[in-house]
Structure 1
Amino acid sequence: MQNEIQSAVGFAHAKPEKAEELGALLVSFAERSRNEPGCIGSWINQDAQDPALFVFYEIWATREDLDRHLAQAYMQEFLAGREAYLAKELEVRQLTLTGSVPGAVSEPADPAEMNQRYLDAYAARDIDAIMGVYAPGAAAVWEPGKAVSGAEHRAAVVEFLKLEPRLSAKVAERYIVGDTAALVIDWSIEVPSMPEMTGTGRGLDVLKKNARGEWRYVITNPFGSL
């Protein structure tokens, strides 16, 4: 029996002077998509030979979920103004999955388990997995009194990964009220190339449960404490 899963694959050929801007925009769209109801996955790829060519791939639980995504205001705004970014018309194909349905990635019921997912993503140096633990628009404090979000956050993580940091963190306390959770984190970091960054601390992270019942970080603050 055919399942309801829908996929979309697209090819976006950027104007050379707009390639970097379009790439950042598409990545932000994928991050937002992953937090929408029914999104199983959303990925952006850049052609290895042509840096102005971006290929995106999305998987949705049902056609209704895909249609709801395409009707989002940010998608409609992009589609209406896409000629400003594209050297040729956007090519999109909508697909229906054949064969067996792949197993879904299990989501932790306890928000404290997101701490391990965060550590695993950093250990794997997987930028998409790191950004995937955050809700759209989430804030990350990179120095006391200064938070970054969106494309600026992603860029900061990319640069940080180049230092090959080694992280460890343990949930010392957790507090849950409805769809909001606060985690007190005892952490340590080792950066062999920059000994001045090596150290320990106690941070405060805030998570919220999204419409799909998934816990995602909305604030990570390694300098915060109770």
Structure 2
Amino acid sequence: MSSEIQSAVGFAHARPEKAEELATLLVSFAERSRNEEGCLGSWINQDADDPTLFVFYEIWATRKDLARHIAQPYMKEFLAGRDAYLAKELEVRPLHLTGPAEEAAEPADPAEMNQRYLDAYAARDVDAIMAVYAPGAAAVWEPGKAVSGDEHRAAVTEFLKREPKLSATVRESYVAGDTAALVVDWSIEVPGSPEMTGTGRGLDVLKKNARGEWRYVITNPFGSQ
């Protein structure tokens, strides 16, 4: 990974009466962060002995990505009103990578992202599912209706509760520069929901980002309709 990688660890001491509210807020921030460009990871932890202490850890690909994150309206709003939640000042320590980072294996062929998508669904891992998408990507959940961002994540989270079994095979793959289109034959079985069980042929679009990673920008299982 690039030597520009930026990370930070932070400590937030909540007012006792605000601990639960702050926990919900910080978790929502981490979820939003993971959908932002350049975010390589965002985690929120609660101290095992002190329920009012939260520790967060974030990794960003570049300084520019981190600066863009801090400038997001939801971050600016929280920082401006943080005293309402915190018993003492927020402590943030910027970190720099001091050793070589292990390179994540990224598919050279965009069609390989299909298997990563399937593996994430099989693991019921919402974070892994969202990680195959580019920031702002659109997913079609009904013909003519696409969702993105927080709405997309919420839809995936709710759908996984139904224990769906998904299989998909790339039928055709086309690449033009940093853009790819996949024609995918899929089948899905949703226990107790025959109306959601079936097969189809979809069309997915992927883009290669600045780090050379293929990410979905559109997934449309109804592409043939």
Partner of 2:92: 92
1:84 aligned partner, one-letter code: G
For 2:139 and 2:52, locate their aligned partners in 1 and report how far apart those are by CA, in whole Å: 30
Check if 1:159 corresponds to 2:163. Answer: no
Task: Name the CA distance, whole Å, in 1 between partners of 2:151 and 2:53.
Answer: 22
Identity of aligned residues (%): 67
Question: 2:129 — aligned with what?
Answer: 130
Moved more, 23-32 or 177-186: 23-32
DSSP 3-state at the match of 1:7: strand
Distance in 2 (alpha carbons) for counterparts of 1:198 and 1:165: 9
Q: How large is the Cα RMSD of the aligned pairs?
A: 2.7
- Would you say the 8 A contact 1:138–1:217 is kept in 2? yes
Shift of 1:19: 5.4
**Counterparts of 1:144 and 1:5, CA distance in 2:** 40
Contact 1:31 1:42 in 2 (8 A): no
Give 5+ residue unaligned stretches, structure 2: none
TM-score scaled by length of structure 1:
0.81
**Count of paired positions:** 213
Aligned 8 A contact 2:202 2:221 in 1: yes
Q: Is the CA contact 1:19–1:51 (under 8 Å) kept in the aligned structure 2? A: no
3-state SS of the aligned residue for 2:35?
A: helix
Q: Which residue number in structure 2 is paired with residue 141 of structure 1?
A: 140
- Preserved contact between residue 165 and residue 190 of structure 2 (Cα < 8 Å): yes
Give the direction of change, closer, same or farther, for the CA distance of 1:95–1:25 in structure 2 (3 Å limit): closer
C-alpha separation in 2, matches of 1:193 and 1:90: 47
Provide closer, same or farther for how the CA distance between residues 8 and 22 of structure 1 changes in structure 2, counting only shifts above 3 A: closer
Instruction: Give structure 1 stretches of 5+ with no counterpart.
Output: none
Q: Which residue of 2 aligns with 1:68?
A: 64
